[in-house]
Amino acid sequence: MEVPREKLKLRDDPKVISPPLLDPLWACGTAVVVRGFIAEATLDVEVDGAIVVAATPGGFPNPNGALIPLPSPLLAGQVVRARQTSGGATSDWSAPRTAVDHTAEYPAGPPRPQINPAPVYQCGRRTGVGNLLVGSDVWIEADAVEVGRVKGAASQQGVNVSPSYGLGQKVIAWTSLCKDVGPPSATQISQAGPSPMPTPGWLPVYAGGQQATITNVVNGATLTVSRNGVVQFSFPSWGYQHTINLSPPFSTGETLSATQVLCKGDTPSNPGDTTVLPCSALPAPGVDAIQQGATSVVLTSFVSGAQIKVFVNGVKRGDGSGPVIALTSPVAAGDTVHVWQILGTCESQWVQELTVQCVAPPVGADPSARDLFPVGTTTYDGGTTTVPSSHSHKIAGTVYYPADADGPGTPFNTRLAALGRVPIAVLVHGRHGGSTSHLGYDYLQQQLAQMGIIAASVDCNESDQWGGWADNILDRADLVINTIAHLQKLDAGGDPIFGGRIDFDHLAMMGHSRGGDAVVTVPEVITLAGVTIRGVIALGPVNSGASSGKPSGYAFMTILPASDGDVVDNNGAEFYDGADPSPFKSQLYVDHANHNFFNREWLNDDTGGGLPLMARADHERILSTYGCAFFRSVLLGHATLGYLQGTVRPPAVLTGDVHLSYKKAKQATVDDHEDGNGIAKNSFGAPTTPSGGLTADEHEWSQSGATRFNDSFFGATIGMVAKHGGKPGMFRSEFDKARDLRRLQVWIRAGEVYDMASVPAGATGFKLGLEDNAGVVAWVDSDGVGGVPRPLDRKAYDLGNGYPDRTKTMGNTLRFPIKCFKPPKEQKFDAAHVVAVWLRLDRRDKRALAFDDLQLVR
Amino acid sequence: MGTDSDLTQADRPDRRDLWTLPALKGVRSVRVRYRTPRRHFVGGKPVEVDEGVELQIQTDGAIPIRALSPALFVGGTEVAENVTVDETSHRFFVADEQALSDGAEIRLGWVGQPPLNDGAAADAGGFHYKTPTEVIDEPGR
């Protein structure tokens, strides 16, 4: 919330400035990137306790930080820190970064550079290259001739090109670190530029600032900037946006203008103009939610070059620049944070105010963006087979794999192959008709292959025409197994691409719709030797009864589109509930997602426009990011489970629509309601006690269960439904013994119960308490840990189709860190001796809540 | 210069009606001796039978291809397992013939989604189950 600054009593201590931030460091790197400092600060860089760069001008921290050359290349294990000096104050040293041998993180060599933005144009003079290791060298070749090079690059580096590109040249970026040359970038063929050239635009420019950002820039174009009608300079840009620095600072009403041109002699674009806005227009920065324990604040919007000051409960804790400002000490849940931006002499009249939440997961790196290898593609043909329903079907599909070069049939990546066999993901489409459904996950196959996972997509299209239900699922499962068997033959038979390459001991599957049922069935029927299934993703699956419905022996994830217009019952919820949580199980219930838009070949909206949807690209981002996080965890052993647990959010994903349930093995379960001992005892065998007018009982969370609370439950488990009559209602669940929770979290699956009538406005919630052995109860509100998920209202849509209302009660897993529990004033809570957990239903709306899987989690 | 607003040549996304089913034109209940045992799934476990009751239906149009299977609802009993013979002919396999009652109304719906009993369904009021007296050998495929 933006609030006027003048009403706040913010104590701006000039001695408090933030330590800057360092990008990751690599052995042999000849530069470091420092970010988050105040504009025009001087920077010191320390290596292994010795200052090797002193008081170097940092310039402007945005948009790319300061790239600071080092006097000598870094060695593995060296520890680097940086600090800033501004306005007479010197910050603390940054958190230390250790230089790492890049082969520890990237055993097959440096990641593949990306020409970004692409494409490149004839006469282009500068190209952006991304996905680089900081301090590496980067160079560009046009038709195999080097045309530009930077030594000691940033992670996104501009490379000036001379001579400029001709038409139709093959442009490739390369990188090396420690004389280790990475794979080539994807080839870009230089194109004729747009004609006419588009007019540049500007982001808002405010008085007092010295930076301005030009938008709508053509890749490689030469920009000419004028200020108040006077040409300032011309320069090449890598494109998209370009931030320039001008002096003296801007004044209200000044005009800035830019034109762009690619080839000399061509007609430049029309000028794009802007007028400098007054200081009074400078807004507060946008700030992402802050979680207790955070040591930095992340901005979602800010003005380039602005100084950002952060106050916690009125006291200054940070002073730096966006997008990440380090704090001098961690924040606590309930703290009030104010964030203020200043441009030179212009101090915004507004500050952003927010309250630190107990749980507000930060945005992490993109788990789908690990781009290491070129991608080869091929199809396979294993002949025909007779499937269980006695039909004949071809064994066919597509495979994407890490390769030495992009394209059909290119050789398997030599360096990756030298490290050992490579894991495989097998994808299975559903029943849609047509002949191309297996091509619809090409984006996921590409992402998996470029990070080092072979990705096959099985062609089951013919089987769409046969009818069948469980029979058809068995047929699809059989086609999957036949595909694996065929790939085993290629692997064992010296196939030029796959011979000796595939690690069938690390195999995972993703199935969509009927394919989702099939991939749950495969592990129960497969008899192939040498195959170990590590994980299964069921995306919008049906549940035909072909399997036991109880996935076990592997990690399981299901993605359930809440606006599914085909599999309206979200049957994957039954799989999640039935799954063994060893090593883990995960469920994503996604509001505003339909059935089809995860598959690029399925063009129709299965809701027929009947429900509001997120864009197709947003569907794909969900499958890409969460799917890659899953596959990386189960096949590559990467630490990406946080995305599924909800401790970190993937970027550029509508995470507000994604409701996560997660359960892992070997945790202490207070109550999962599966013990058959009634509501009066929990899974510890200890008593439970309702009070304050609360009513609670155990109910089947299913469509057919005799004890279901109502028809809004679609899973296959038993949970609790509680409601209160007006006064706060309490539910106490005793432990079997006093337990030390200091290093644990309390997890509970919770959801707002749909009453089968309407979805009321506004969210509801509850409080969760812990009672110590002295009788002190400390509480956390569900609103502070992400809130209770709401039913997605689809009643009118379902009834309009002539079928019952499928609006669902669907829980997600709320995590309550122990540090967030607050005892009453002047009481002390002993987390080392906890004897009971409490639920307090205290909302005036009196809505019923559903609970399950109350656990104490490491 | 006017502004063109013509959409007649636009590439529109494929629109499908997933829910509308054709009407039943005929239902025949027969007992079939299978050339190879037929497998049903009961609670995820396969059960093989040498012969069983089939409901062989004719419709007045194609059944939409989608994730969910069409199913026959015989009274309150769902019969989902089926095979497409041609666009308008389908065989439905009865897993538990004891659950079917003579005289029960037969309606076409979607698995897990019995048609609302409002008489509006295209197949309402036509066909009723009759225990088959006829036994045939499964035809060759």
Nearest CA in chain B to A540: B67
What pLDDT is stored for residue B122 in this prediction? 47
Shortest Cα distance, chain B CAs vs residue A514, angstroms:
6
* Facing residue for B44 by CB, picked from A548, A567, A603: A548
Q: Which of A506-515, A718-727, A787-796, B111-120 bottoms out in mean pLDDT, i.e. has the lowest?
A: B111-120
Residue B70 CA from chain centroid, whole number? 4
Rounded Cα distance between A681 and A386, Å, is 53
User: Could B43 and A389 be called an inter-chain contact, meaning their C-beta atoms sit closer than 8 Å?
Assistant: no
Which residues of chain A make contact with B82, given a CB cutoff of 8 A? 467-469
What pLDDT is stored for residue A840 in this prediction? 97
Rounded Cα distance between A31 and A42, Å, is 16
Rounded Cα distance between A484 and A505, Å, is 12
End-to-end Cα, chain A, rounded Å: 35
User: Could B44 and A545 be called an inter-chain contact, meaning their C-beta atoms sit closer than 8 Å?
Assistant: yes
Which candidate, A104, A84, A83, A139, places its Cα nearest to that of A25?
A104
pLDDT over 60 (residue B2): no
pLDDT over 90 (residue A652): yes
Q: Does A546 touch chain B (CB under 8 A)?
A: yes
User: How is residue A200 written in tokens?
Assistant: 């540049």
Calculated CA dihedral for residues A556, B113, A702, A644, nearest 10 degrees? 30
User: Could A545 and B68 be called an inter-chain contact, meaning their C-beta atoms sit closer than 8 Å?
Assistant: no
Rounded Cα distance between A275 and B100, Å, is 79
Which candidate, A52, A43, A154, places its Cα nearest to that of A94?
A43
Count of alpha carbons within 13 angstroms of residue A651, beta-carbon side = 9
A346-388 tens-digit pLDDT: 999 999 999 999 999 999 999 999 999 999 999 999 999 999 9
pLDDT over 60 (residue B119): no
SS3 assignment, position A381? strand
Nearest CA in chain A to B85: A466
Q: Which of A633-637, A641-645, A846-850, B134-138 bottoms out in mean pLDDT, i.e. has the lowest?
A: B134-138
Which residues of chain B make contact with A604, given a CB cutoff of 8 A? 13-16
Are the C-beta atoms of residues A388 and A478 closer than 8 Å to each other?
yes
Nearest CA in chain A to B38: A389
User: Could B65 and A604 be called an inter-chain contact, meaning their C-beta atoms sit closer than 8 Å?
Assistant: no
Q: Does A595 touch chain B (CB under 8 A)?
A: yes
Calculated CA dihedral for residues A70, A72, A76, A77, nearest 10 degrees? -70
What pLDDT is stored for residue B3 in this prediction? 57
User: How is residue A642 written in tokens?
Assistant: 């946080």
pLDDT over 60 (residue B13): no
Mean pLDDT to the nearest integer, A49-75: 94
Shortest Cα distance, chain A CAs vs residue B133, angstroms:
25
Question: Over chain A, what is the mean pLDDT?
Answer: 96
User: Which residue's structure tokens are 């607003």?
Assistant: B5
* pLDDT tier at B5, thresholds 50, 70, 90: low
User: Could B43 and A465 be called an inter-chain contact, meaning their C-beta atoms sit closer than 8 Å?
Assistant: no
CA B124-B125-B130 angle, to 5 degrees, is: 115
A549-560 tens-digit pLDDT: 999 999 999 999
What pLDDT is stored for residue B10 in this prediction? 46
Cβ atoms within 10 Å, residue A321: 29
pLDDT over 70 (residue A676): yes
3-state secondary structure A269-335: CCCEEEECECHHHCCCCEECCCECCCCEEEEEECCCCCEEEEEECCEEEEEECCCEEECCCCCCCCC
Q: How far is CA A263 from CA A171, A197, A200, A215, A271, in A?
A: 18, 11, 16, 19, 17
Are the C-beta atoms of residues B41 and A544 closer than 8 Å to each other?
yes
* Facing residue for A546 by CB, picked from B41, B66, B116: B41
Q: What is the largest CA-CA distance in chain A?
A: 86
A210-267 tens-digit pLDDT: 999 999 999 999 999 999 999 999 999 999 999 999 999 999 999 999 999 999 999 9
Which residues of chain A make contact with B62, given a CB cutoff of 8 A? none
Which residues of chain B make contact with A605, given a CB cutoff of 8 A? 13
Question: DSSP letter at A572?
Answer: H
Phi, psi of A104 (to 5 degrees): -70, -40
User: Could B83 and A566 be called an inter-chain contact, meaning their C-beta atoms sit closer than 8 Å?
Assistant: no
- If you write DSSP's letter for every residue of chain B in order, what string do you get? -PPP---TTS-PPP---SSPPPPEEEEEEEEEEEEEEEEEEETTEEEEEEEEEEEEEEESSPPPPSSSPEEEEETTEEE--EEEEETTEEEEE-S-GGG--TT-EEEEEETTBPPPSSS-STTTTSEE------EEEPPP-
pLDDT over 70 (residue B7): no
Strand partners of residue A236: A222
Where is A522: in which H helix or E strand?
helix A514-525
Q: Does A118 touch chain B (CB under 8 A)?
A: no
A95-121 tens-digit pLDDT: 999 999 999 999 999 999 999 999 999
Are the C-beta atoms of residues A151 and A163 closer than 8 Å to each other?
no
User: Could A471 and B17 be called an inter-chain contact, meaning their C-beta atoms sit closer than 8 Å?
Assistant: no
A interface mutation test: which of B21, B56, B68, B89 has the most A CBs within 10 A?
B68
Q: Give start and end residues of each alpha helix (H) in A591-693.
A: 616-631, 642-645
Which candidate, A109, A98, A267, places its Cα nearest to that of A177?
A109
Burial class (CB in 10 A: 0-12, 13-18, 19+), B10: exposed
What pLDDT is stored for residue A801 in this prediction? 86
Mean pLDDT to the nearest integer, A715-729: 93
What pLDDT is stored for residue A147 in this prediction? 98
What pLDDT is stored for residue A284 in this prediction? 96
Rounded Cα distance between A478 and A472, Å, is 10
Are the C-beta atoms of residues A611 and A617 closer than 8 Å to each other?
no
User: Could B44 and A524 be called an inter-chain contact, meaning their C-beta atoms sit closer than 8 Å?
Assistant: yes
pLDDT over 80 (residue A15): yes
User: Could A801 and B65 be called an inter-chain contact, meaning their C-beta atoms sit closer than 8 Å?
Assistant: no
Tally C-beta pairs within 8 A across A and B. Answer: 103
What pLDDT is stored for residue B15 in this prediction? 57
B interface mutation test: which of A391, A469, A597, A711 has the most B CBs within 10 A?
A469
* Facing residue for A566 by CB, picked from B43, B68, B70: B68
* Facing residue for A469 by CB, picked from B39, B80, B141: B80
* Facing residue for A545 by CB, picked from B43, B67, B83: B43
B interface mutation test: which of A597, A613, A803 has the most B CBs within 10 A?
A803
- Put simply, the chain A residues between 475 and 514 with a CB less than 8 A from any chain B CB are 513-514
pLDDT over 80 (residue B48): yes
Which candidate, A451, A440, A360, places its Cα nearest to that of A655?
A360
Mean pLDDT to the nearest integer, A324-339: 95
What percentage of chain A exceeds 70 in pLDDT? 100
Rounded Cα distance between A748 and A840, Å, is 13
Q: What is the CA radius of gyration of chain A?
A: 29
* Facing residue for B15 by CB, picked from A467, A549, A604: A604
User: Could B19 and A568 be called an inter-chain contact, meaning their C-beta atoms sit closer than 8 Å?
Assistant: no
A286-314 tens-digit pLDDT: 999 999 999 999 999 999 999 999 999 99
Query: In this predicted complex, what is the ipTM?
Result: 0.89
Are the C-beta atoms of residues A342 and A767 closer than 8 Å to each other?
no
Q: What is the largest CA-CA distance in chain B?
A: 76
User: Which residue's structure tokens are 């002190």?
Assistant: A776
Which residues of chain A make contact with B83, given a CB cutoff of 8 A? 389, 466-468, 471
Which residues of chain B make contact with A606, given a CB cutoff of 8 A? 16, 18, 66
Rounded Cα distance between B94 and B112, Å, is 16
Which residues of chain A make contact with B111, given a CB cutoff of 8 A? 469, 544
pLDDT over 60 (residue B11): no
Rounded Cα distance between A431 and A472, Å, is 10
Rounded Cα distance between A741 and A778, Å, is 13
The angle that helices A470-492 and A514-525 make with each other, rounded to 10 degrees, is 60
State the pairing for strand pair A66-69/A533-539: unpaired
A566-602 tens-digit pLDDT: 999 999 999 999 999 999 999 999 999 999 999 999 9
SS3 assignment, position A770? strand
What pLDDT is stored for residue B12 in this prediction? 45
Where is A394: in which H helix or E strand?
strand A392-402
Are the C-beta atoms of residues A293 and A330 closer than 8 Å to each other?
yes
Nearest CA in chain A to B140: A390
What percentage of chain B exceeds 90 in pLDDT? 56
Which residues of chain B make contact with A570, given a CB cutoff of 8 A? none
Which residues of chain B make contact with A703, given a CB cutoff of 8 A? 112
Which residues of chain A make contact with B115, given a CB cutoff of 8 A? 802
Phi, psi of A280 (to 5 degrees): -65, -15
What pLDDT is stored for residue A520 in this prediction? 98
pLDDT over 80 (residue A435): yes
Are the C-beta atoms of residues A96 and A81 closer than 8 Å to each other?
yes
pLDDT over 50 (residue A833): yes
Shortest Cα distance, chain A CAs vs residue B28, angstroms:
18
Q: How far is CA B26 from CA A515, A695, B103, B108, B126, in A?
A: 32, 52, 15, 11, 9
Question: DSSP letter at A571?
Answer: T
What pLDDT is stored for residue B14 in this prediction? 55
* pLDDT tier at A452, thresholds 50, 70, 90: very high
The helix, strand and coil proportions of chain A, stated in percent and rounded to the nearest 5, come to 15, 40, 50
A609-622 tens-digit pLDDT: 999 999 999 999 99
User: How is residue A349 written in tokens?
Assistant: 């009249």
Are the C-beta atoms of residues A679 and A697 closer than 8 Å to each other?
yes
Q: How far is CA A823 from CA A326, A559, A744, A776, A831, in A?
A: 30, 38, 17, 7, 11
What pLDDT is stored for residue A570 in this prediction? 98
Q: Does A568 touch chain B (CB under 8 A)?
A: yes
What pLDDT is stored for residue A300 in this prediction? 95
